[in-house]
Amino acid sequence: MHNSANVSPSDSVADNGIQRWPGAAYPLGASYDGAGTNFSLFSEVATRVELCLIADDGTESRIKLGEVDGYCWHAYLPGIEPGQKYGYRVYGPFDPAAGHRCDPSKLLLDPYGKAFHGTFDTGDSSLFSTAPELAETGTADDLIGADSAAHTMLSVVINPYFDWQNDRSPRRPYHETIIYEAHVKGMTAAHPDIPEELRGTYAGLAHPVIIDHLKSLGITAIELMPVHQFLQDFVLLDQGLRNYWGYNTFGYLAPHDEYTSRRDQPSSAVTEFKAMVRAFHAEDIEVILDVVYNHTAEGNHLGPTISFRGIDNAAYYRLAEDNPALYTDYTGTGNSLNGRHPHTLQLIMDSLRYWVTEMHVDGFRFDLASTLARELHDVDRLSAFFDLVQQDPIVSQVKLIAEPWDVGEGGYQVGNFPSLWTEWNGKYRDTVRDYWRGEPATLGEFASRLTGSSDLYASTGRRPLASINFVTAHDGFTLADLVSYNEKHNEANGEDNRDGESHNRSWNCGVEGPTDDADIRALRARQQRNILTTLLLSQGTPMIAHGDELGRTQSGNNNVYCQDSPLAWMDWSLAQDNSDLLEFTRRVISLRTEHPVFRRRRFFKGRPIRWGEQNLDIAWLTPTGGEMTAADWDSGFGKSLAVFLNGEGIAEPDLRGEKIVDDTFLICFNAHDGAIDFTMPSARYGDKWIGVLDTSDATGASTVAVDAGGQLPVGARSVVVLCRQERTAQSDGRG
């Protein structure tokens, strides 16, 4: 609601025939209250700001914002209702050499816009303030001066009211969470059971067939690749490509409008997004957003002027200290947001709170989060951004996931984020890939990653759940491609295969790409099952990349950021072709869900739980049944081991304060190229073991039963999971 003290009718001014009251500086953006709309825009450098109301026929009405408080230019317009399209013209210095790029010939988008409408005319030069050769040194006299109003998108006033129907967040704890990384369009664009008009949209993602698929898997949270309003990169469009991934944000409070099924209706993306969240919550599935607060879509000094650059360039961006005409780039995209400026920090925090309070999302995954930690140059985990998040009563209570690296010096920060945060564990990804492709000297590292990476997180008071475990994600090979290609094949991206990661830690199992060789195909299928088993039975919070449960392939392309096509979309026919893999994924997720020993909230201790007891929580065993020695860990050739997980040694209460007691398991890992006979440990560990999962079987089924001291054949490159059926009274978990 607007502050009535600031919008008294007695202060009313007519501007172009439109009634204008002083309004309020906060909240920023356009805020409809049922009677009119308050507009507020921050610019420290502006000398004049005009609010431009755009009619359906393109007619523009300019209204001078005469009230300025704390560098926020504002007015309240009675009678302005949802659906009104608008923009801003900001007057001030155009002096690139000093870091200023105000240009009133550009109709600028609202940084706090909650919806956008229209398209960018990417072929029109009016979106650019200067000729490229003048971008660093030009003055106001060098402005192209062409008006961009007819060639840019427009901000839209929204109706904030929505019937949430008693919606609530599932608020599922991390140790019960299984994340599914997905793309709104990629998940639904080719689904035959979704109506064609809903494919590629929020409504399509909320369709019962998608929710039923996630529920049947056992997924508890869907992590959406960027849905903040983003720009289609001009260079890509010129090549007939598109910015499919969406890491090119300019609207931090607006859902991307191309994902609405009613794009002709301004602000429909807002209500459709909310309905999608409501549908997921009704099925107890959380919604996490992949957010890009490290850079914007305006790019480097040669990029278009569509919003921040023309409003207050030096406030919103990190400028090069030795040449403010250029941008400091920690992201590889041309610019970096200036997290040192209070108004830029405010934009980020206001955006986060808005998505939680108004859009009901359950958490965020922060793209290139190390950029947000840079106070000056170095990464500082105590930077102002993290202080703000820590004390915020709303943002601090949702899931916060860091991608703990950027492309700048010292940007790789896995394990170094504050205690409130979880992290994409890049070391987990690399280690699991190396182990299953047969790299030497990986056993010790593999054991650490399997048990929650205490070496990374315990020293900061965090628990295993801080490790977001993943082996594949949107960036890189799919799971099927990880076991089918040694090299990337990104020719379709138009960069001569130079883009994308070259060191993938992948193994093609003997042939590059598709093959009719039955043995290689069987090995690849088994390797996929091995990796899924490792991922889902590791301590920490697992994340699956969408389509890996179906064997989705991108034909060896490990960087489909620009491929908005069937190459990147989910091929749902694979649900039939690879039904065994789908059934296997369900089986192993169910095993994790049903047994808390695979999702402990505290790290293993590897010693008796309490004084006087001889009950180990974990033990590492060789294939001969004895405990691993230092020599066993240090052997460069060792690729096989077993881990004993004591369900009676969890030693942590459940959420009701009751002691957790679970079944006890033995997991036999064999990454060798030949079968190995594992000797079951002595009766102190257990009298009899029953097979519950075997990756040698297409669906994971196992009927094996073996006694203490008996032999268990474990196939080449496979995993067998056994459950203890009986235990002796004198068992001490040592062997």
Mean pLDDT of successive 10-residue segments in the chain (735 residues)? 42 76 97 97 97 96 96 98 97 94 96 97 85 55 75 97 96 97 98 98 98 98 98 92 96 98 92 98 98 94 95 97 93 89 95 98 92 64 80 97 81 84 95 95 93 93 96 98 98 95 96 98 98 98 98 98 97 97 98 97 74 71 94 86 93 79 96 96 94 97 96 97 71 38
Fill in the DSSP letter of residue 379.
B
Q: CATH 2.60.40.1180 residue ranges in the chain? A: 604-724
Q: How far is the C-alpha of 570 from the C-alpha of 25, rounded, in Å?
A: 45
- 3-state DSSP call for residue 72? strand
Distance, CA of 426 to CA of 424 (rounded, Å): 6
8 Å CB contact between 646 and 616: yes
Tokens 């492309």, located at residue: 407
User: How much is the pLDDT for 735?
Assistant: 35
**Distance of alpha carbon 338 from alpha carbon 328, whole angstroms:** 9
pTM value is 0.94
Predicted pLDDT of residue 731:
40
Query: Going by DSSP bridges, is the β-strand pair 718-726/688-694 parallel, antiparallel, or unpaired?
Result: antiparallel
Supply the pLDDT for residue 135. Answer: 54
Of 513, 586, 526, the residue nearest 553 (C-alpha): 513
Does the N-terminal peptide bond of residue 608 adopt cis geometry, omega within 30 degrees of 0? no
Cα dihedral: 326, 329, 333, 334 (round 10): 0
Kindly give, in sequence order, each residue whose CB lies less than 8 Å from that of residue 638, ignoring residues fewer than 6 positions away. Answer: 443, 632
CA atoms of 484 and 487, how far apart (whole Å): 9
- Please report which helix (H) or strand (E) contains residue 576, including its range: helix 574-577
464: number of CA atoms within 13 Å, CB side? 24
- Distance (Å, whole) CA 571 – CA 569: 6
- C-alpha angle 42/43/46, rounded to 5°? 145
Handedness of CA 369, 375, 380, 383 (dihedral sign): negative
Every domain range in the chain assigned CATH 2.60.40.10: 29-157
Residue type, 682: S
pLDDT at 733: 39
Q: What is the pLDDT of residue 132?
A: 52
Mode of pairing for the β-strands spanning 286-291 and 363-366: parallel
Which of 499, 476, 475, 473 lies closest to 236 in space, CA to CA? 499
Question: Who's near 569: CB < 8 A, 6+ residues apart?
Answer: 185, 186, 189, 190
Handedness of CA 619, 625, 628, 633 (dihedral sign): negative
Active site residues: 367, 403
Which DSSP category does 130 fall into? S
At the topology level of CATH, where does 29-157 sit?
Immunoglobulin-like (2.60.40)
Contact criterion met (CB below 8 Å) for 243 and 225: no
Contact 605, 650 (CB under 8 A): no
pLDDT at 363: 98
> What is the distance of C-alpha 201 from the center of its chain?
18
Torsion of CA 494, 500, 503, 504, to 10 degrees: -100
Per-residue pLDDT at 295: 92
Residues 297 and 229: their CA atoms lie apart, in Å, by 10
Hey, which CATH number is domain 604-724, 3.30.300.20, 2.60.40.1180, 1.10.3720.10, 3.40.190.10? 2.60.40.1180
